[in-house]
């Protein structure tokens, strides 16, 4: 129960970060919002590591993979924050849920894993779910929807890289290094896009980093009490918090087609996750 509670708590925290990002996007550049997510994550995570986990953490044996992981998440965040600045939180997240499908497609190439007929069928089903949400030919496809799909694609590769690092580096070190990569790149870009925030906007920018840090810390702690394969389906709980925030603060409620597409994508994703778990123990 501890693992489930921590995991679900994480999927409550992370959509709150997205809500702040969407609200700020009307006055603060997307790149600046993304920078704040990483800058304040490092500001919060580093003292925790230094005071409580300093003796348990060794430097990474895979610095290149850590940098690649950080870059993937940084650009995925840019795409996602851009998408939610234009379309609803729920639609953007639904399209980004193609990440498990991307993992399945690329795992034979990047992880040398075998993918059977059933999982390929689930990938095709998930792709159909994405088409239901997009409805090409019936609804105009905008750049924000494509950016949301791009988020899912980059996040899928990010998950593959995370798998490679899972058994070698401490999760907190990985969290800090991911934050550092984003903070450094963001800080280099900042002079070109900077808009002076108000006091309230500074508070919200800090909140983005805070909820990102707490959310990911909860995810890391949950993995101490249960396997990732068992907890993975709970990640879809994020959409519930997402819909509530979108409706309450932005008056956005997904239409029936989005709900139907979401249902199809989630079913295919859960099936893929269950097949991966079965293969792991067989």
| pLDDT tens sequence across 252-264 | 888 888 888 888 8
> Three-state DSSP class for 89?
helix
CA-CA distance, 268 to 276, in Å (whole number)?
A: 12
| Mean pLDDT for the chain overall | 83
CA nearest to 217, candidates 106, 62, 52, 20: 52
Residue 57 binned pLDDT confidence (cut-offs 50, 70, 90): low
Cα separation, 282 vs 272, in Å, equals 15
69-85: average pLDDT: 94
In whole angstroms, what is the distance from residue 179 CA to residue 32 CA? 15
Which of 106, 98, 145, 151 has the alpha carbon at shortest distance from 125?
Answer: 98
pLDDT digits (tens, 9 = 90+) for 170-213: 777 778 888 899 999 999 999 999 999 999 999 999 999 999 98
Q: How high is the pLDDT of residue 100?
A: 78
Q: CA 197 to CA 78: how far, in whole Å?
A: 19
For residues 99-114, average pLDDT: 78
Helix (H, G, I), strand (E, B) or coil at 218: helix
Residue 241, classified by CB atoms within 10 Å of its CB into exposed (0-12), middle (13-18) or buried (19+), is buried
Best-predicted range by mean pLDDT (58-72, 197-211, 233-247, 266-280): 197-211
Arithmetic mean of pLDDT, 115-125: 76
Share of the chain above pLDDT 70, in %: 87
The phi and psi torsions of 122 (rounded to 5 degrees) equal: -65, -40
Domain count, the chain: 1
> What is the Cα 197 distance to its own chain's centre?
25
* 260 vs 257: CA distance, rounded Å: 5
Per-residue pLDDT at 230: 67
Residue 16 has pLDDT above 90, yes or no: yes
Query: pLDDT at residue 138 above 70?
Result: no
Indicate the pLDDT class of residue 220, thresholds 50, 70 and 90.
confident
- The set of residues, in sequence order, having a beta carbon less than 8 Å from that of 177 and lying 6+ positions away, is 60, 66, 67, 69, 70
- Rounded to 5, what percent of the chain is helix, strand, coil? 80, 0, 15
- What is the extent of the structural domain holding 192? 2-281
Answer with the residue of higher pLDDT: 18 or 274: 18
C-alpha–C-alpha distance, residues 224 and 3, integer Å: 8
Q: What distance in Å separates the CA atoms of residue 223 and residue 225, rounded to the nearest whole number?
A: 5
């Amino acid at each position: 129960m501890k693992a489930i509670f921590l995991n679900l708590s994480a999927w409550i925290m992370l959509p709150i970060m997205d809500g702040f990002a969407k609200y700020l996007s009307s006055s603060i550049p997307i790149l600046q919002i993304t920078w704040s997510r990483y800058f304040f994550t490092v500001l919060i995570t580093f003292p925790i590591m230094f005071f409580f986990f300093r003796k348990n953490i060794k430097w990474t044996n895979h610095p290149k993979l850590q940098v690649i992981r950080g870059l993937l998440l940084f650009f995925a965040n840019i795409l996602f924050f851009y998408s939610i600045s234009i379309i609803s939180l729920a639609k953007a997240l639904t399209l980004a849920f193609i990440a498990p499908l991307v993992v399945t497609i690329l795992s034979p190439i990047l992880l040398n894993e075998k993918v059977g007929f059933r999982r390929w069928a689930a990938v095709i089903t998930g792709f159909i779910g994405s088409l239901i949400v997009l409805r090409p030919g019936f609804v105009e496809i905008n750049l924000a929807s494509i950016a949301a799909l791009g988020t899912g694609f980059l996040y899928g590769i990010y998950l593959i890289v995370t798998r490679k690092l899972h058994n070698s580096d401490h999760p907190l070190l990985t969290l800090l290094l991911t934050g550092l990569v984003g903070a450094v790149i963001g800080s280099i870009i900042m002079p070109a896009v900077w808009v002076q925030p108000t006091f309230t906007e500074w508070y919200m920018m800090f909140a983005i980093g805070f909820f990102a840090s707490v959310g990911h810390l909860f995810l890391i702690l949950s993995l101490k009490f249960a396997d990732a394969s068992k907890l993975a389906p709970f990640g879809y709980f994020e959409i519930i918090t997402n819909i509530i925030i979108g409706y309450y603060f932005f008056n956005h409620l997904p239409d029936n087609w989005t709900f139907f597409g979401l249902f199809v994508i989630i079913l295919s994703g859960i099936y893929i996750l269950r097949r991966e778990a079965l293969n792991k123990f067989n």
